[in-house]
Amino acid sequence: MALPYAADALEPVISRTTLGFHHGKHLAAYVNNLNALLPGSGFEEATLEEIVCQAAGGILNNAGQILNHELYFGQFSALKEGNEPTGALAEAIVRDYGSFEAFKDEFQKKGATLFGSGWVWLSADKDGKLVITQEPNAANPVQKGLKPLLTFDVWEHAYYLDYQNRRPDHLAALWQIVDWNVIEQRYLQG
């Protein structure tokens, strides 16, 4: 997957160096690994979502990381002041969390407290109710029947070069680059 923005577009929140390693090395390794594992697996024609919901072991881990990273890298855009959702998604956040600030606090807390490596997700259930989940390693909310909307990567490779061991600072900074139009479209898709 090609990035939908320039390598330096997310600075200073995510540096060009971090983006180069994260997208150019980590994601590329997952793609190469999955491509090597697919022949003869029965998943050659499956979508990433199908693989993540049905596979196990290395195929699941690599497909999960590809799916997670595609959603992650596809949800950002250049730094914006006062960056908040609008429309139906904003209404759903207020309905389910009371306010955007309360939602952000819970999302960041779940991201900061996930032990080890993984992801924090905002997803929608089949009725459109918003749910925040912690997903370890390569797990994805689609495995629980949820529709993934927004994710923050809490694997150290996502932030260590820029934030060292300050995961909460990284999570707090990411709000500045979330492209809420992308998240809104994911929410509205059937």
3-state secondary structure of 190: coil
pLDDT of 79: 73
Which CATH architecture best describes the domain 16-73?
A: Orthogonal Bundle (1.10)
pLDDT of 80: 74
Every domain of the chain and the residues it spans: 16-73, 87-188
> Long-range contact list for 7-14, CB < 8 A, 24+ apart?
9/77, 9/78, 10/76, 10/78, 10/79, 10/177, 11/79, 12/79, 12/162, 13/79, 13/173, 13/174, 13/176, 13/177, 14/76, 14/162, 14/174, 14/177
pLDDT of 82: 72
pLDDT of 175: 95
pLDDT of 54: 97
pLDDT of 190: 63
pLDDT of 139: 95
Which CATH architecture best describes the domain 87-188?
A: 3-Layer(bab) Sandwich (3.55)
pLDDT tens-digit readout, 68-117: 999 999 999 987 777 899 999 999 999 999 999 999 999 999 999 999 89
Residues of the chain whose pLDDT is less than 70? Answer: 190
pLDDT of 188: 94
Supply φ then ψ for residue 11, to 5 degrees: -70, 145
pLDDT of 153: 93
